[in-house]
Structure 1
Amino acid sequence: MAGTPEGFTYRLRKNGDVELLHHNRPAGVLRGAAAARFLVDVENSDPQELMARLTGNYRHGNERTAKNHPRNRGR
């Protein structure tokens, strides 16, 4: 099973952009309509999962398979 995402926060900039942070490091910026949609969606869903999906930093479900692949076994 995939773990739940954690460590994501966001900041609303003065110009209306939304800056996504992962462990206090910049992970992405949303501008315009995407920023407005994010601010609505963050109230209605799990904010950690939403930010992980937007930044592309979330589990895909194949980590265990990749770990057991022959080229990765010695690591």
Structure 2
Amino acid sequence: MSLLDDPFDHTETKDGTILIRRGGRLVVTVAGRRAQELAARLGRADDAGRQQLLARATGNYRRGNERGAQG
């Protein structure tokens, strides 16, 4: 399943915390300095870039070393 099929969504709260959701469920909460840096990068990124940044913030992204199903 790709990021286009099931994209991440995010909300920034008044205190600067970023809530990242996928499929309507809260995946991770980013706070503090990390949230400030992420918010700045999200502001400069296009849609595809935002999805990559959110995926990386959650740890849910492919690193290129996974093997396909062997069957």
Question: Is TM-score (shorter-chain normalized) higher than 0.5?
Answer: yes
TM-score by length of 2: 0.76
Which residue of structure 1 aligns with residue 41 of structure 2? 41
Q: Deviations over 1:7-52 (max 9, x none)?
A: 1010111222111111221111111111111110012231000000
The range that moved more, 33-42 or 5-14, is 5-14
With structure 1 as the length reference, what TM-score do the two structures score? Answer: 0.72
Structure 1 consecutive aligned stretches of length 4 or more whose deviation exceeds 4 Å: none
- Which of residues 50, 54, 57 in structure 2 aligns to 1:51? 54
Larger radius of gyration: 1
Q: Which amino acid aligns with 1:67?
A: A
What number of residue pairs does the alignment pair up?
Answer: 66
- Tell me how large the CA RMSD over aligned residues is: 1.9
Contact 1:9–1:21 (8 Å) recurs in 2:
yes
